Amino acid sequence: MPFIIAIDGPAASGKGTIARALAAHFGFHHLDTGLLYRATGAKGGDPVTAALSLDASDLARADLRSAEAGQAASRIAAIPEVRAALVDFQHRFAAQEPGAVLDGRDIGTVICPDAAVKLYVTASDQVRARRRAAELGADPEEMLAQLQERDRRDSERTAAPLKPAPDAVLLDTTHLGIPEAIAQAIAQVNKVRG
Ligand code: CDP
Ligand code: CDP
């Protein structure tokens, strides 16, 4: 049975950084599931058709990390049929030996409810906005408003809303540097792996 690590949390909380580091440390596969929604939104046209026809070239687009692509992703991610169209891909990815790390919003709650380890990564709104603004060369105030709007939409939707799984371990990175956050995540996984 592959070892599955589920990482969820709000925008720019550090999920992806932690997920990549865990995958490298343990030799697991890594999927940033946000990219699936970003690529679906960026394809345009009917979002269900776009989701069903995603391929590697869609995920390699240069502009997927932009704030606009994030907003578009969050809008189409509220459509249950879009989410359903992306489930198989995520399940197949998670089934790879020796293990997989998936990060997103609903990995521990919906996609991989039986994951061996579930982390819910958070940080204060201000810190998340500052980090993402630095990354994109954007204005922190504008970024704060954007992230809060996206988090609200992601948390309030009916289909697979953003929320911690009951058995998720909370990891607040507000006052943690990247190496500290990664070390804490590795320690959580080692607790389970023994
Ligand atoms: O994947 P997610 O959107 O949750 O966040 P990320 O892309 O991993 O991290 C957002 C930004 O915050 C990146 O520029 C990271 O380098 C930075 N970061 C940080 O400064 N401190 C942390 N503990 C984690 C991430
Ligand atoms: O990196 P960041 O946290 O800013 O965003 P992302 O993980 O790339 O996700 C972009 C958007 O896709 C989110 O705001 C969600 O609306 C949606 N998403 C989702 O609904 N479910 C997932 N498992 C991953 C992303």
Ligand 1 touching residue 135 (CB < 6 A): yes
Please tell me whether the interface predicted TM-score (ipTM) of this complex is above 0.85.
yes
**Is residue 105 assigned to a domain?**
yes
- DSSP codes of every residue in 15-70: HHHHHHHHHHHHT-EEEETHHHHHHHHHH-S-HHHHHHT--HHHHT-GGGGSHHHH
pLDDT band at 119 (very low <50, low <70, confident <90, very high): very high
pLDDT for 79-103, tens place per residue? Answer: 999 999 999 999 999 999 999 999 9
For the residues 55-79, what does the mean pLDDT come to? 95
Nearest CA to ligand 2 atom 2: 11
**Domain extent at residue 45:** 34-85
Count of structural domains within the chain: 2
**Domain of residue 144, CATH code:** 3.40.50.300
Q: Which amino acid is at 71?
A: Q
pLDDT for 26-36, tens place per residue? Answer: 999 999 999 99
> What mean pLDDT value characterizes the chain?
97
Nearest CA to ligand 1 atom 12: 131
- Atom of ligand 2 minimally distant from the CA of 70: 10
pTM for the structure as a whole: 0.98
For the residues 98-127, what does the mean pLDDT come to? 98
pLDDT higher than 80, residue 194: no
- Atom of ligand 1 minimally distant from the CA of 32: 1
**Is residue 173 assigned to a domain?**
yes
